[in-house]
Amino acid sequence: MINKPKIIKLNIEPDLDFRLIAIATSMNDYNLSWKINKSLDISLQRDEELLVELENSKEKKAFSLYRCCENSNGLRYVLVANKSENGLLLRDLPNIDFFLKISGEIYDNEENEIVSAIKNTEGIMIAYVLTKELLPNTQHKKFFTVFSTF
């Protein structure tokens, strides 16, 4: 009698090595980046657009992207639009216009100060830290894939 090998499936979800702030605003991308630069004393600069192939579509969609290399506290910032002419980066968050990704070693008190500064920026309606618990399960893989690439 031949013993069948045991199959063990591991469901490992990658750790977030970044923080993501969801932002709702009526401002366009360059005005928002300018105001965030002033509020956080950083230097976001326009970069090549983020090209993503959305579900149920063979064509890639372009989303505006702004970057700030390491600043004085060792953090890196990336501002990316959630909306393009043809779709949403995260379709389950249609009321969110932009995401601010913060990479590097960030402490909770720093995160709170950043979110507070963004919330107090003129023209921003809402800003909050987006956690995986706030995302529907269907969006987790896409979330990690998209935001881990830049």
Counting beta carbons within 10 angstroms of the beta carbon of residue 41, is it exposed (0 to 12), middle (13 to 18) or buried (19 or more)? exposed
Confidence of residue 12 (pLDDT cuts 50, 70, 90): very low
Tell which wins on pLDDT, 18 or 65: 65
Question: pLDDT, tens digit, for every residue of 44-60?
Answer: 999 999 888 766 667 78
58-84 pLDDT, tens digit per residue, is: 778 889 999 998 767 788 999 999 999
List domains and CATH numbers for the chain. 18-148 (3.30.310)
Averaged pLDDT for residues 16-40? 92
Q: What is the pLDDT of residues 108-131, one digit of tens each?
A: 888 999 999 999 999 999 999 987
Per-residue pLDDT at 45: 95
DSSP assignment of the chain equals -PPPPP------PPPP-EEEEEEEESS-HHHHHHHHHHHHT---EE-PPEEEE-TT-SSEEEE-EEEE---TTS-EEEEEESEETTEESSTT-TT--EEEEEES---HHHHHHHHHHHHTSTTEEEEEE--GGGS-HHHHHHHHHHHH--
Query: pTM (2 decimals)?
Result: 0.81
Q: Is the pLDDT of residue 43 over 60?
A: yes
Can you state the angle between helices 29-40 and 108-119, rounded to 10 degrees?
A: 130
Paired tokens of 53? 């192939």
Q: Give me the phi and psi of 25, to 5 degrees please.
A: -160, 160
Token couple for 18: 């970044």
Residue 145 has pLDDT above 70, yes or no: no
